[in-house]
Amino acid sequence: MFDSFVRQVREIYQTDAFIPLHEPRFVGNEKQYLLNVIDSTFVSSVGPYVAEFENKIADYCGVKHAVATVNGTAALHIALLLAGVESGEEVITQAVTFVATCNAINYCGAEPVFVDIDADTLGLSASAVAEFLAHHCERFDDGVYNKISGKRIAACLPMHTFGHPCDMTGLLRVCEEYGIPIVEDAAEALGSWVSGVERKHCGSFGKLGVLSFNGNKIITTGGGGMILTNDDALAKQAKHLTTTAKLPHAWKFEHDQVGYNYRMPNLNAALGLAQLEQLPNFVERKRALAVRYLDWAHANGAQVVVEPSGTQANYWLNALLLDDLTQRDAFLEYSNAQGVMTRPLWELMPDLSMYRYCQTDGLSQSRRLAQRLVNVPSSVIL
């Protein structure tokens, strides 16, 4: 099976050279827009491309406001602050995620609490969150508190793993019952949708959502992020905080609170705008790639991760599910030795030294997944 997989990937990408896990594609107006910015001299955070990129991302995602940031982690940090997360509090999240999710919680002076995922979505489980809240928390007039730590549960932070939408309907129902705001980590999910009475984009369900435009995402600004919200006041405050909390004035430099220099430069926004023009095509081609992997899996008795029922995923990263840890490691060693880049799941967050002290619910699904999952090359097929 290992050799068959390598042959399949080389057939898909039509090369004998090294095949990376995910690389950007620049086949549109990127160079022209970047030259426009250079010619204008507005290469930093002031320039028309920033506002245009924000407006078009908001339109695409179906939200009222989008606020550009220097990266996705900065967007998460601000989104959590705006959701009301304060020092000494806790945020429910998943152990299956990139470290930025937990780092953003830590930047607020808060601590993550790790609750298990659903096997079909790879994202935070609504039933596991409900069970945790029912057994480990109690309600008071000023919020929900963890009976073990005594700390307030300030927010819930699900992540749409590899672009596969979480059970947002279930999470919203549980969190609304307990009065806990949701901040969505949709860093990997631009172009992913949830069907239903109303088709909604990932990142548009919670109080705030966050996107990432890192170099390995489905579209890139080189480095960048975006805060999504339908709340006018939160959007205004997000823009204020991410631009050093500077009060508007023609020449004075007055700041009314501690802000952050989290602005996206005009250069990056220009690149993102050109990439956004190609997003529908990128999603279509990535979904076609997922079908190629699924066909290979059926022919070889293998298993791949598929989009959850009722969703349309962008398939940012495709993934195989192998039998066990031994087979996973053998596959990783073989494929990488053959010049086809594959990688395991991130280390589970409570297995990292800085988050080892954090409370978990046991994470049985998460640990099983970590022993079996391998990400495979997922660049857009040209």
pLDDT (0 to 100) of residue 358:
98
Tell me what the pLDDT averaged over the chain comes to: 96
Q: Check if the beta carbon of residue 30 is closer than 8 Å to that of residue 271.
A: yes
Digit-coded pLDDT (tens) for 67-117: 999 999 999 999 999 999 999 999 999 999 999 999 999 999 999 999 999
- Residue 182 is classified by DSSP as B
- Domains of the chain, by residue range, sit at 2-25+279-376, 30-276
Q: What pLDDT was estimated at residue 201? A: 98
DSSP annotation string for 78-104: HHHHHTT--TT-EEEEESSS-HHHHHH
Q: Using the predicted structure, report yes or no on whether residue 193 has a pLDDT greater than 90.
A: yes
Distance, C-alpha 221 to centroid of its chain: 15
Q: Quick one: pLDDT at residue 198?
A: 83
**Structure token digits, residue 224:** 């960048």
What is the rounded end-to-end Cα distance, in angstroms, of the chain? 26
Measured between alpha carbons, how far is 10 from 12 in angstroms, rounded to an integer?
Answer: 5
- Residues near 253 by beta carbon (within 8 Å), at least 6 away in sequence: 246
Partners of 31 in the β-ladder: none
Among 208, 232, 222, which residue's Cα sits nearest to residue 271?
222
Span 202-223, average pLDDT: 97
Q: Taking a C-beta distance cutoff of 8 angstroms, is the pair 197, 155 a contact?
A: no
Give the model's pLDDT for residue 46. Answer: 81
Residue 101 near residue 347, CB atoms below 8 Å:
no
Running DSSP on this structure, what letter comes out for residue 163?
G
User: pLDDT by residue (tens digit) across 18-52?
Assistant: 999 999 999 999 999 999 999 999 998 888 999 99
* Alpha-carbon distance values, 28 to 47, 274, 282, 288, 365 (Å): 21, 6, 12, 20, 41
pLDDT band at 196 (very low <50, low <70, confident <90, very high): confident
Q: Which fold has domain 30-276?
A: Aspartate Aminotransferase; domain 2 (3.40.640)
Q: What is the pLDDT of residue 47?
A: 85
CA dihedral 178, 182, 188, 192 (to 10 degrees): 80
**Residue entry with tokens 């990376």:** 20
Kindly tell me if the per-residue pLDDT of 197 is higher than 80: no
Cβ of 41: how many Cβ atoms within 10 Å? 9
What's the pLDDT at 45? 81
| Rounded Cα–Cα distance for residues 367 and 268 (Å) | 37
Residues 296-346 pLDDT 10s:
999 999 999 999 999 999 999 999 999 999 999 999 999 999 999 999 999
Q: Give the pLDDT of residue 250.
A: 86
Beta bridge partners of 211: 226
Model pLDDT, residue 190: 98
Cα(192)–Cα(339) distance, rounded to whole angstroms?
Answer: 30
Note the Cα 360 to chain centre separation in Å: 21
CB 156 within 8 A of CB 181: yes
Write down the CATH number for the domain with range 2-25+279-376.
3.90.1150.10
Percent of the chain with pLDDT over 90: 96
Among residues 67, 63, 72, 60, the alpha carbon closest in space to that of 280 is found at 60
H helix intervals, the chain? 2-13, 30-40, 48-61, 72-82, 99-107, 126-136, 168-178, 232-242, 266-276, 279-300, 325-337, 364-372
Q: What is the model's pLDDT at position 186?
A: 98
Rounded to whole angstroms, how far apart are CA atoms 110 and 153?
A: 10
- The length of the chain in residues reads 382
